[in-house]
């Protein structure tokens, strides 16, 4: 009998695998597996769970059908009341079921298509322990003995409490088995609390936050790639943006709310969509202003990397060799050369400011910005035989040596330019046709020209040879110093310009013989050089006649320059090839410097060292150091044949000189091996002695 | 638009510049002068690096922000200009 039953139970196992349970209304109430059924035999010794009991062949359950064993098996499952019911049903009901539907033994794995009706019902109560009380009458023979025994027992029970023989001890009841429940979400949202994210969330005003929401909605709708922005369906869209914003605000519980909506996630990328989307991306990025700035900065960084040694030399920093670069044999000699201290002073070329736009123009003037000493304005123009060509102004920055960041085309050749000190971005420009203009270099486009004298009634007709910004005392207050623009032209006028709202007005004076150059001082005294070689001292207050006249040069004066360190000393250069050193109150030149019979185009003092000045001749540059020699120039640097050098400028704070030529290039030279006179007057004892001799 | 294109061409033509990459906000390169494998490698790595750098800078002071990143290695220098919606990456070998 047991053998047949065992056989049947094995068949039951096959049936049970594909079991489906329907209740009276026909609904499928099949219990789902909570965990994946693990086919290990090891869990036999553990408490059997519902699944194991239902779906596993455990020998402990289906052992035999003898009553004692039945009891023992039931006892083991006594805590699972509902299970016992089902178990018993199986034992009782499935057997008759199987007798009606014979199963072929050995058919494994094939689900049976028939539906079985299983009726669950409660069984009779089984008694496990029955201790019934014995009743005897009081008149029985051993009633006393029983009473005695009862009394002893009652005492014993009452004495039990405080007695040492008995201890109160508790033992733990059976702990119900814990249920392991797993959940899965489709949405993966996480964030990290960073200090800046908190700051951003709280510092954004509410209006902006809404804009950000709508922006994010657009973003979510248009890019359906990321998992947390994958709610693309319309029904879920508001919730998606809701939880997106709240992610950033760290309200985590709201993320839970969002998962309740009915959303569809699109984690698949459409290949066509992808290609189309990157095109407008690129366009949008390239046109944005931030990208313009990024490219600007990037170009500067790259150029700085390329020119790092040259710029270090310019700034007077020690040039360090890059430890990772390969050493080339030519460099070795270069390095040993530097170690020799007693070398002759030379000009070493560092770099050249040149760009395709400037080729073909000749450089006429250069000026440093007063506020930002890294910005250089260069004026280009040429007028061969009185025929001027359209000119150009370029603003170069030391941060980008290969491309000028501001280029302003002019209608005529530029002859001179200067930056203002009170408005550091204003650049005054004088041109060959007599017009004076002011440019605002902060603006990069054609609106940079903020004033032009072409419409002014009293404008010049002759070339403007110099424009200067002078600080002048206002007559009424006497305290303030306002800057005025003064221009000197070839028609003999020195004009003061008043900048009106949209133009110029000039206060002119003194038509005289042609003026060529002029230079001004704070005290209102200025010196004019004329075409006929005379030097005149004049005053701003007295505009009718000269105060003094210095001895003449035989030929036109080309340039006058005040010494930056001595307030009454100036240099003049002229076409006769001489450079004269003057003191303000002496009518004869103190010193005269001649080297070559050639037109001296310009002479400039060095702002760093008080005995050094440079002069530019057509074919070479001379640098004079008066502390070394007053007879000969210290350095003579020749230009390439065919090239005319036309402009000269010193760089403040750096031992360098800039030379502009007729090819449109500005070359920066470093003054090497000069004894650096720090420019303090203390060091300079010899100079006044020379003057007073 | 022409200015920007011109500037980009100038950048690409400077001495020592090995390549230029523009990466959009999702880490996908949208314009590059290098080959695809190198480009995607740089784009992926630098995107996470600059996010980390920006996070570090702003954690110290939330009012501050990252403007430029330069990584100098033995053989080259990687220059990154980070913005909210793109990265401009240039790889240069300055000692060439």
- Sheet strand arrangement including A612-617: A600-605, A612-617, A620-625, A635-638
Whether the CB of B67 is below 8 Å from some CB of chain A: the reply is: yes
CA distance A411 to A467: 18
Q: Which chain B residues are Cβ-neighbours of A302 within 8 angstroms?
A: 11, 14, 16-17, 79, 90, 92
State pLDDT tens for residues B8-48.
888 898 888 999 999 988 888 888 999 999 999 999 999 99
A449-477: b or e for each residue (b if 16 or more CB lie within 10 Å)? bbbbbeebeebbeebbbbbbbbebbeeee
For chain A, the maximum distance between any two Cα atoms, rounded to a whole number of angstroms, is: 170
CA distance A263 to A266: 10
What is the sign, positive or negative, of the torsion defined by CA atoms of A249, A253, A256, A260? negative
- Which SS3 state, helix, strand or coil, does residue A196 take? helix
CA distance A291 to B66: 15
Alpha-carbon gap: B43 to the closest alpha carbon of chain A (Å): 15
Under an 8 A CB cutoff, do A403 and B5 touch? no
Among partner residues A282, A305, A324, which is closest to B31 by beta-carbon distance?
Answer: A282
E strand or H helix at A528, and its extent?
A: strand A525-530
Among partner residues A281, A286, A301, which is closest to B79 by beta-carbon distance?
Answer: A301
Whether the CB of B13 is below 8 Å from some CB of chain A: the reply is: no
Under an 8 A CB cutoff, do B11 and A299 touch? yes
Residue A612: Cβ-neighbour burial (10 angstroms; 0-12, 13-18, 19+): buried
CA distance A396 to A354: 10
CA dist A508 to A418, A491, A497, A647, Å?
Answer: 20, 12, 8, 28
E strand or H helix at A158, and its extent?
A: helix A143-158
What pLDDT was estimated at residue A523? 61
Torsion of CA A293, A297, A300, A301, to 10 degrees: -160
Q: CB-hemisphere CA count at 13 Å for A565? A: 21
Under an 8 A CB cutoff, do A290 and B95 touch? no
What pLDDT was estimated at residue A112? 62
Q: Which chain A residues are Cβ-neighbours of B81 within 8 angstroms?
A: 294-295, 297-298
**Minimal-distance CA residue of chain B relative to A285:** B86
Under an 8 A CB cutoff, do A295 and B17 touch? no
E strand or H helix at A51, and its extent?
A: helix A50-55
CA distance B45 to B30: 15
The token pair at A125 is 């109560």
CA distance A483 to A631: 40
Residues A468/A452, Cβ–Cβ less than 8 Å: no
Alpha-carbon gap: A291 to the closest alpha carbon of chain B (Å): 8
CA distance A85 to A78: 10
* Helix axes A237-248 and A206-222, enclosed angle (nearest 10): 130
CA distance A381 to A391: 5
Residues A577/A618, Cβ–Cβ less than 8 Å: no
What pLDDT was estimated at residue A490? 74
CA distance A47 to A77: 9
Enumerate helices (H) and strands (E) in chain B, giving the number of each.
2, 5
What pLDDT was estimated at residue A87? 39
**Minimal-distance CA residue of chain A relative to B74:** A324
Neighbours of A82 (CB within 10 A): 9
CA distance A125 to A122: 9
Whether the CB of B35 is below 8 Å from some CB of chain A: the reply is: no
A&B contacts, CB < 8 Å: 100
Give A321's DSSP letter: P
**Minimal-distance CA residue of chain A relative to B80:** A298
Give A90's DSSP letter: I
Residue A665: Cβ-neighbour burial (10 angstroms; 0-12, 13-18, 19+): middle
- Which SS3 state, helix, strand or coil, does residue A225 take? coil
Q: Which chain A residues are Cβ-neighbours of B90 within 8 angstroms?
A: 298, 302
CA dist B89 to A400, B45, B71, B83, Å?
Answer: 18, 11, 11, 11
Residues B96/B87, Cβ–Cβ less than 8 Å: no
Nearest one of A583, A579, A580 to A599, comparing CA atoms: A579
Chain A residues bordering chain B (beta-carbon distance below 8 Å): 194-196, 198-200, 203, 223, 225-226, 278, 281-282, 285-288, 290-292, 294-299, 301-303, 305-306, 308, 322, 324-326, 402-403
Residues sharing a CB contact under 8 Å with residue A442, sequence separation 6 or more, in sequence order? A425
Nearest one of A564, A628, A565 to A593, comparing CA atoms: A628
CA distance A2 to A8: 10
Phi, psi (degrees; rounded to nearest 5) at A389: -105, 160
What pLDDT was estimated at residue A343? 67
- Phi and psi based region of residue B48 (left: phi greater than 0; alpha: psi -120 to 50; beta: remaining): alpha
What pLDDT was estimated at residue B18? 92
What pLDDT was estimated at residue A6? 44
Nearest one of A454, A428, A455, A422 to A440, comparing CA atoms: A428
- Phi and psi based region of residue A360 (left: phi greater than 0; alpha: psi -120 to 50; beta: remaining): left
Torsion of CA A249, A255, A257, A259, to 10 degrees: 150
Enumerate helices (H) and strands (E) in chain A, giving the number of each.
15, 30
What does pLDDT average to in each consecutive run of 10 residues of chain A (693 residues)? 45 51 77 63 50 48 42 41 39 45 52 80 88 82 85 86 76 82 79 84 67 46 39 35 37 33 35 49 79 89 88 82 58 45 75 84 87 88 76 88 86 87 86 85 77 68 80 53 74 72 52 57 70 74 69 77 78 83 80 81 83 85 82 81 83 85 86 60 46 47
B60-73: b or e for each residue (b if 16 or more CB lie within 10 Å)? eebeeebeebeeee
CA distance A599 to A619: 10
What pLDDT was estimated at residue A79? 38
CA distance A89 to A12: 13
- Identify the residue among A285, A287, A400 best suited for mutation to test binding to B, counting B beta carbons within 10 A and taking the highest: A285
CA angle A234, A236, A238 (to 5 degrees): 90
**Minimal-distance CA residue of chain A relative to B90:** A298
Among partner residues A288, A298, A325, which is closest to B90 by beta-carbon distance?
Answer: A298
**Minimal-distance CA residue of chain B relative to A196:** B62
The token pair at A611 is 């005995």
Under an 8 A CB cutoff, do A282 and B94 touch? no
For chain B, the maximum distance between any two Cα atoms, rounded to a whole number of angstroms, is: 39
Chain A neighbours among B 77-96 (CB < 8 Å)? 77, 79, 81, 83-86, 88, 90, 92, 94-95
Residues A513/A494, Cβ–Cβ less than 8 Å: no
In A310-405, beta strands by DSSP E? 346-353, 363-368, 375-380, 383-384, 387-388, 392-397
Mean pLDDT for chain B overall: 90
CA distance A125 to A84: 12
Under an 8 A CB cutoff, do B14 and A306 touch? yes
What pLDDT was estimated at residue A230? 38
Under an 8 A CB cutoff, do A302 and B1 touch? no
CA A132 from chain centre, in angstroms, equals 92
Q: Which domains does chain A have, with CATH numbers?
A: 1-30+84-89+114-136 (no CATH), 346-691 (2.130.10.10)
For the residues B3-7, what does the mean pLDDT come to?
Answer: 86
């Amino acid at each position: 009998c047991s053998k047949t039953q065992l056989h049947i139970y094995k068949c039951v196992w096959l049936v049970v695998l594909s079991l489906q349970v329907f209740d009276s209304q026909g609904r499928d109430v099949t219990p789902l597996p909570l965990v994946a059924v693990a086919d290990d035999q090891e869990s036999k010794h553990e408490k059997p769970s519902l699944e194991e009991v239902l779906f596993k062949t455990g020998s402990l359950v289906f052992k035999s059908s003898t009553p004692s064993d039945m009891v023992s098996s039931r006892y083991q499952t006594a805590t699972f009341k509902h299970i016992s019911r089902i178990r018993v049903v199986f034992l009782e009901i499935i057997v008759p079921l199987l007798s009606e539907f014979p199963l072929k033994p050995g058919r494994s794995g094939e689900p049976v298509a028939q539906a079985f009706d299983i009726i669950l019902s409660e069984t009779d109560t089984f008694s496990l322990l029955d201790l019934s009380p014995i009743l005897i009458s009081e008149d029985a023979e051993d009633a006393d003995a029983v009473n005695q025994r009862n009394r002893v027992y009652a005492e014993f029970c009452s004495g039990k409490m405080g007695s040492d023989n008995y201890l109160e001890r508790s033992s733990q009841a059976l702990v119900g088995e814990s249920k392991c429940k797993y959940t899965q979400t489709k949405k993966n949202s996480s964030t990290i609390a960073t200090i800046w994210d908190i700051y951003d969330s709280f510092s954004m005003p509410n209006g902006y936050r809404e804009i950000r929401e709508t922006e994010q909605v657009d973003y979510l709708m248009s890019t359906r790639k990321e998992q947390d922005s994958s709610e693309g369906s319309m029904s879920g869209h508001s919730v998606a943006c809701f939880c997106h914003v709240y992610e950033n605000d760290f309200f985590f519980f709201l993320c839970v709310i969002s998962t309740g909506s009915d959303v569809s996630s699109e984690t698949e990328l459409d290949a066509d969509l992808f290609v189309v989307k990157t095109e407008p991306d690129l366009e949008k990025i390239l046109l944005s202003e931030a990208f313009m700035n990024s490219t600007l900065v990037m170009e500067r960084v790259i150029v700085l990397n390329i020119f790092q040694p040259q710029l270090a030399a310019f700034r007077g920093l020690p040039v360090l060799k890059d430890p990772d670069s390969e050493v080339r044999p030519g460099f070795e000699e270069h390095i040993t050369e530097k170690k020799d201290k007693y070398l002759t002073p030379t000009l070493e070329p560092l770099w050249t400011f040149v760009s395709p736009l400037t080729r073909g123009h000749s450089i006429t003037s250069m000026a440093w910005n007063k506020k930002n000493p890294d910005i250089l304005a260069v004026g280009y123009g040429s007028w061969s035989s009185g025929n001027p060509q359209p000119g150009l102004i370029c603003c170069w920055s030391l941060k980008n040596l290969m491309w000028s960041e501001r280029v302003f085309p002019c209608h005529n050749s530029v002859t001179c330019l200067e930056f203002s000190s009170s408005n550091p971005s204003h650049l005054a420009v004088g041109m060959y046709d007599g017009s004076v203009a002011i440019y605002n270099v902060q603006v990069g486009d054609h609106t940079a020209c903020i004033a032009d004298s072409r419409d002014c009634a009293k404008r010049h007709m002759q070339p403007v040879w110099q424009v200067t910004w002078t600080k002048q005392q206002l007559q009424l207050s006497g305290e303030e110093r306002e800057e005025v623009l003064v221009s000197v032209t070839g028609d003999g006028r020195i004009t003061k310009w008043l900048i009106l709202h949209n133009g110029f007005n000039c206060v002119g004076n003194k038509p005289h013989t042609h003026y060529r150059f002029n230079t001004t001082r704070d005290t209102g005294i200025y010196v004019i050089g004329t075409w006929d070689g005379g030097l005149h001292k004049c005053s701003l207050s007295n505009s009718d006649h000269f105060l003094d006249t210095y001895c003449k040069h035989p030929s036109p004066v080309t340039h006058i320059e005040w010494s930056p360190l001595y307030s009454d000393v100036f240099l003049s250069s002229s076409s006769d090839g001489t450079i004269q050193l003057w003191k303000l109150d002496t009518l004869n030149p103190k010193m005269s410097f001649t080297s070559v019979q050639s037109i001296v185009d310009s002479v400039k003092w060095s702002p760093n060292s008080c005995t050094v000045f440079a002069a530019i001749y057509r074919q070479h540059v001379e640098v004079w150091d008066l502390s070394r020699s007053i007879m000969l120039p210290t350095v003579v640097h020749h230009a390439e044949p065919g090239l005319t050098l036309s402009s000269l400028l010193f760089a403040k704070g750096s031992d360098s000189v800039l030379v502009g030529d007729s090819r449109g290039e500005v070359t920066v030279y470093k003054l090497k091996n000069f004894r650096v006179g720090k420019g303090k007057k203390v060091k300079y004892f010899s100079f006044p002695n020379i003057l007073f001799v | 638009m022409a200015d920007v294109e011109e500037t980009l061409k100038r950048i690409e033509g400077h001495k020592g510049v090995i390549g230029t990459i523009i990466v959009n906000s999702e880490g996908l390169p949208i314009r590059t002068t290098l080959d695809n494998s190198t480009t995607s490698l740089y784009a992926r790595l630098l995107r996470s690096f600059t996010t980390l750098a920006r996070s570090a800078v702003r954690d110290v002071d939330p009012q501050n922000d990252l403007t430029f990143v330069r990584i100098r290695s033995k053989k080259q220098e990687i220059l990154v200009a980070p913005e909210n919606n793109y990265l401009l990456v240039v790889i240069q070998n300055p000692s060439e």
